[in-house]
Structures are given as structure tokens and as C-alpha cells.
Amino acid sequence: MKFYNREKELHFLKTYVQLEPNSILFVYGPKSSGKSAVMRRVIKELENSNIVFFYYNLRKYATPTKEEFLRVFFEKSDKKYLLNKLELNLGVFKFGVEENFDFNKLSLNDVFAKINESINAVVEDGKKPVLIIDELQKLKSIYFNGNKSLLNELFNFFVSLTKMEHLCHVICLTSDTLFIEEIYRNSTLENTSKYYLIDWLGKGTIRNILKEEGFSEEEINYCLKYLSLPYEIVDLIENKKLGLSVEQTIKQWVNIERDKILYLISTQKEFDMEKLINALKLFEDKIKVDIKEIIKNNLMDEVKFLIKNEILFYDVINGIIKPTSIKKWYAIKEVIQ
């Protein structure tokens, strides 16, 4: 997929990874807003710098078990850190462990000791380590010896790496905003974490891309009412080459999203369907709703259900809830008619 203009986001992240580590950074945003693409671009543009990126994309894997987690994060080698063979087109690294290392007898303290060894080896080589985990929340269900939550212990370890020892940047990417809410409310992470939103593409950026791709002014003006995410632009361009008009493509999108929402709310058994519709009706005349309005209408549980199922997006830092995309908003409006 072509990389679209994200100069502000690139500048922020490229600058951030070159500062002294002082906090965990959570990069969040609606699904498919381009978080991973931006992060990978940062890595690519800094590949000839003195930064060593440890990058783990957990979306590639089914929800990992303890054993799978260890094999994803570590590679047996005589080196403390080595190129990640699973990322063929990206010069990123994995943590190294000795060839005879027994994964079956690994405790959490062993895990953190091995990560520390790799990070210190990078520092000793005169380079800056940066650890990036994409979709970190997929580790929520993993427990180690003594029934210790891997994720909770990881956060404590990350605080040590960043806030306390200033050894390594830790960047976590996620579209799971309920997970971000958990993190944001976690008192143990207070004053140890930052949050950065990668949101919808701006209309000016969308206009420039479509103009560059040969869309007419009439087509562009029509599209601007519906487009918000990078993959939508790719789909639109491909469909135009296949002979579909922008109106046909966008109508298909909205119809599909409408039917998905209708199926979801009509087949679920947890909530009263009328209350779910009432939650959606809050977006009838506006695309963004303040969290206070949700609470005032006693619809927080219903809204969280819609967030969990990626109908709505919760920008917990700014206290705003909105559909995950603009086309989803138009689908919602059809559902509640």
C-alpha cells in the first residue's frame, strides 16, 4: 500500500525515538488509521542511524501462548541481538539467547534478564535501543510462574527501562481503546507514560492524493464526505481502475457497514436492542460525542459494546467517542432511520 502524507506524525515519532527515554509511549487510533504504516516508515527512514529497533508485530499471530510469546520475542544465537527474519523488508531486530537455552524452564525474571542483556549489548555498541510492540494487548491472557500476568509485569519492567534507567524507548501500538482506557486509569503507570493519537487522514491530504491520482473535482468533492482512512483511498483507486464509479464504491461500503451493524445488534444477547439503537442515535446529527453525554444518558455499557466490536472509537485521552470511520457514521445513520 502506498504511504500517504503523515509528516506531522513522522516528525513526532522520529524526534521522540532520538530523545532520552523517559516514559512508555502508547500510539493509539482507530483501526486502519495507519499506526503500523507510520511506525514502519519511521524505522525505514532511520535505518542508517545509530538506532536499533526491536519490532514485534503481534497482529501476525493468533493470540499467543506463553511458549509462542517466547519464540516470537527470542531467537537462539551467539549474538545478544540479531535481525528479525520474520520482517523481511524491514531492518529490525530480535532479542538473542544462547543456543542451549531451555524455553520450557524460563521464568519471568529470566525473560526480563535476557531482554536487559540484549538492550545493554546495544548500548555497549554505542547505539540506541527502541522496543516497539504492535497490538501489545494480545499478551493479556498470558501468565507465568505463580500465575503472574505477563502484561502487568511487562509494564513494570518497561517503567524500569524508560523512566528509571533511561536505557530504552518502549513504544506500544494499539487500536483497542478499551485497553488504552485500562492503561490510562492504571495508577502504577501514572507519570510514566505518554499517549499519541494517529487519527483519520485530513481532508486536505485526501484531496491532494485524489487529485494526484487523476480524480475530477466533482469526484473529489463527493469522496471528501465519506473518506477518512488510508486503505479506503487504495480501494477507491483500485475500483476506479476496475470501472466502478466513486458513487458505486462508496454506496457498497456504506451498505456493507450498515448490514454488519444490523447483524451485530440483532444477534447479540447481552443488551437490549433498543438501548443499543439509542446509543447509536447519539450520533444522528454529530460525528463526535463527549463521554459526559454517554454517561448522562446511562449508555456507557452499550457504547463499550459498540467500541469492542469496532463500530465506535473511544479517544480516551480527549474524552471523545466517534465512529471508527466516516463511512461507518453514514452506515449508523441508515441503521437508525
Chain segment 191-239, per-residue pLDDT in tens: 899 999 999 999 999 999 999 999 999 999 999 999 999 999 999 999 9
Strands of the chain, DSSP E: 24-28, 51-57, 74-76, 81-83, 93-97, 128-134, 143-144, 148-149, 169-174, 193-197, 289-290, 312-315, 320-323
Local confidence band at 1 (pLDDT 50, 70, 90 cut-offs): very low
Residue 291 maps to a domain: yes
Residue of higher predicted confidence among 187 and 291: 291
b/e 47-77 (16+ beta carbons within 10 angstroms → b): eeeebbbbbbbbeebeebebeebbebbbbeb
Q: Could you tell me if 54 and 166 lie in one domain?
A: yes
Residue 288 maps to a domain: yes
The number of distinct structural domains making up the chain is 2
The Cα angle at residue 100 between residues 116 and 80, in degrees rounded to 5: 30
Q: Tell me the residue range of the domain where 148 lies.
A: 7-197
* CB-based burial label for 140 (10 Å; 0-12, 13-18, 19+): middle
pLDDT for position 145: 73
- Whole-angstrom distance, CA of residue 22 vs CA of residue 258: 44
Q: Could you tell me if 120 and 105 lie in one domain?
A: yes
Residue 147 is placed in which grid cell?
A: 500465575
As a whole number, mean pLDDT of residues 139-157 equals: 86
Strand pairing of 74-76 and 93-97?
A: parallel
Q: Could you tell me if 83 and 46 lie in one domain?
A: yes
Q: Could you tell me if 294 and 250 lie in one domain?
A: yes
Phi, psi of 10 (to 5 degrees): -60, -45
Kindly tell me if the per-residue pLDDT of 2 is higher than 70. Answer: no
- Whole-angstrom distance, CA of residue 64 vs CA of residue 313: 25
Q: Could you tell me if 180 and 237 lie in one domain?
A: no
Residue of higher predicted confidence among 145 and 92: 92
Q: Which of 307, 329, 313 is nearest to 257 (CA)?
A: 329
Q: Which of 255, 257, 222, 264 is nearest to 240 (CA)?
A: 222
- Whole-angstrom distance, CA of residue 277 vs CA of residue 275: 5
